[in-house]
Structure 1
Amino acid sequence: MGIAYCLEHMHQLNPPVVPRSLDSTTIYLTDDFAAKVSDLEFPDDGAKGSSPRSATSDLETAVHRYGVVLLEILTGRVACSDEDGPLERWASRYLDGEVRLAELFDPSIGSSFSEEAARALCEVARSCVDPDPKRRPAMAEVAARLREITALGPDRATPKVSPLWWAELEIMSSSDS
């Protein structure tokens, strides 16, 4: 959820900020499992004159990348493998109903969701990786749908700062010296 909220916020800025390299290697988890998006590349000042179509295309691409990350989380698989190819192609058999949906989920999280919630999560992922970029939802819609499915608002998806944060930072920096 934290990733979706982060992207929703970034896409609503004026101009929108779009991470150029969003994938599972650019997302880190805090001690309390809150997601942190890293390795953001910001457009240079010359990009201000870019066309509205280019900006829309970037947003659609970011939604697709988020969909792939969501599939990685749900399945426990990598985005692309030599054996199965791109994850969205492998998952399409499940998302299109050709194979039982329960077999799509990583066994370690499969029982964490009701069947209805699992179907809804898969529908969100499927819409994000839709081959037609124009049919992909905006990140605001993705975040709203996920909030409805998981009942996790932004306040529960943000990292919890330890009251001893400054002391922990001091200890860590002292031990490095």
Structure 2
Amino acid sequence: MGLCFSSPSSSILSMPPQYSGKTSSGSGKSSMSQVWEINTESESGSVVNNVKGGSGEFLEVAKLKVFSFGDLKSATKSFKADALIGEGGFGKVYKGWLDEKKLSPTKPGSGIMVAVKKLNPESMQGFHEWQSEINFLGRISHPNLVKLLGYCRDDEEFLLVYEFMPRGSLENHLFRRNTESLSWNTRLKIAIGAARGLAFLHSLEKIVIYRDFKASNILLDGNYNAKISDFGLAKFGPSGEESHVTTRIMGTYGYAAPEYMATGHLYVKSDVYGFGVVLLEMLTGLQALDIKRPARQQNLVEWMKPCLPDKRKLKTIMDFRIEGQYSLKAASQAAQLVLKCLEPDPKNRPSMKDVVETLEGIKAVNNNYNISNKHSTKSTAMHIR
């Protein structure tokens, strides 16, 4: 589920269990307040000391503004239809306007634009994700993670307020016909940014496993800088000498790692598998799971994996929209990285730190290709004259 723009087209593997708690007014409906009291520490675990990694930070206490429902109603023009910018399992997402310093409601067109997620009161999945967003994203600061500005809890109303990402999701740019296509250089930039975000989560003293890495959860700012959004399924990773955590299987078909789907064992490198799937989508321009394709081609990994080691076959599966923008060497290196990320055994997958370094190397190779092409074009033009 992206922040603002669209819900993922792939289906969710499973839903969270129903929360226990007292019912309100004898209606049989679980009380949100009671659920909050029971589950406030369910995903956060023990207190985490401030941990700095690169230009990011994991805070011991969330630094978030607590909004009133009235403020957010005012900021979104009473949640009118023309302010609606997306909808997912959590509920609806609206654009709103806030004063940049005070984060108070202001007139449309002044201050800063924000994205306001409004929980569907009937969605217990949504409440779980609302809580998890605050426990994780509310305490994390990094350039490649979407910034959570605050939240609202007002009786049965639960909302989250984020920075607005004007370019929408990577999914939209790759798969929607009416959205601007991405160049090869921009795709590399996005891949590097998203990889840095995951690498940061994996480098924390108390490791965070994102668990639902996919194109719809990568949002883009005005300069196509990638930011990972939606921490509703995030989990703290294994501690000590443990290799994995065991948890209820949740995520999105086509992106979830095979070991996790088979056993419920969640490894840090289960995220690496998801990254490999998204990188394959960026190379091919095709979605991880598409039931409209012929039966043997519906799962992109199963369909494309045999083509990746062969340079001749690789040429035929690369997205036609980026033809002529990359060197075969750079594309081949990217394909090899995809294969490493998709290794069946998580132990054989690279770390996200290694993924970042490899992608930066591929970017350098492609930059040299672009420089060489410019010189070649200039030389040809002079010769023609």
Q: Same fold (TM over 0.5)?
A: yes
Aligned with residue 205 of structure 2, among 9, 14, 18: 14
Equivalent position of 1:54 in the other structure = 244
Distance (whole Å) between structure 1 residues aligned to residue 302 and residue 194 of structure 2: 23
Question: CA shift at 1:22, angstroms?
Answer: 1.0
Can you give the 5+ residue segments of structure 1 that lack an aligned partner in the other structure?
Answer: 153-177
Can you give the 5+ residue segments of structure 2 that lack an aligned partner in the other structure?
Answer: 1-191, 246-264, 366-385
Identity %: 30
Amino acid at match of 1:114: S
Asked if the contact 1:10–1:16 (Cα under 8 Å) also holds between the matched residues in 2, the reply is yes
Q: Deviations over 1:73-120 (max 9, x none)?
A: 111000112221221111112113296211121111232211111100
Instruction: Compare the two structures and name the one with the higher strand fraction.
Output: 2
The structure with the largest alpha-carbon Rg is: 2
Asked if the contact 2:311–2:332 (Cα under 8 Å) also holds between the matched residues in 1, the reply is no
Rate the CA distance shift 1:108–1:98 in 2: closer, same or farther, 3 A: closer
Instruction: Compare the two structures and name the one with the higher helix fraction.
Output: 1
Rate the CA distance shift 1:119–1:98 in 2: closer, same or farther, 3 A: closer
- Secondary structure at the counterpart of residue 219 of structure 2: strand
Asked if the contact 1:127–1:137 (Cα under 8 Å) also holds between the matched residues in 2, the reply is yes
Asked if the contact 1:93–1:99 (Cα under 8 Å) also holds between the matched residues in 2, the reply is no
1:66 aligned to 2:275?
A: yes
Amino acid at match of 1:110: E
1:4 aligned to 2:213?
A: no
Distance (whole Å) between structure 2 residues aligned to residue 36 and residue 71 of structure 1: 19
Equivalent position of 2:285 in the other structure = 76
Rate the CA distance shift 1:4–1:113 in 2: closer, same or farther, 3 A: same
Distance (whole Å) between structure 1 residues aligned to residue 348 and residue 239 of structure 2: 26
Aligned with residue 85 of structure 1, among 277, 298, 314: 298
Equivalent position of 1:103 in the other structure = 316
Question: CA shift at 1:39, angstroms?
Answer: 0.5
Rate the CA distance shift 1:99–1:91 in 2: closer, same or farther, 3 A: farther
The structure showing larger relative contact order (alpha-carbon pairs under 8 Å, at least 6 residues apart) is 1
* Structure 2 counterparts to residues 153-164 of structure 1, below 5 A: none
Aligned with residue 122 of structure 1, among 335, 342, 348: 335
Amino acid at match of 2:342: V
Question: CA shift at 1:25, angstroms?
Answer: 1.2
Distance (whole Å) between structure 1 residues aligned to residue 196 and residue 311 of structure 2: 31
Asked if the contact 2:206–2:239 (Cα under 8 Å) also holds between the matched residues in 1, the reply is no
Equivalent position of 1:31 in the other structure = 222
1:43 aligned to 2:235?
A: yes
Asked if the contact 1:72–1:79 (Cα under 8 Å) also holds between the matched residues in 2, the reply is yes
Rate the CA distance shift 1:14–1:49 in 2: closer, same or farther, 3 A: closer
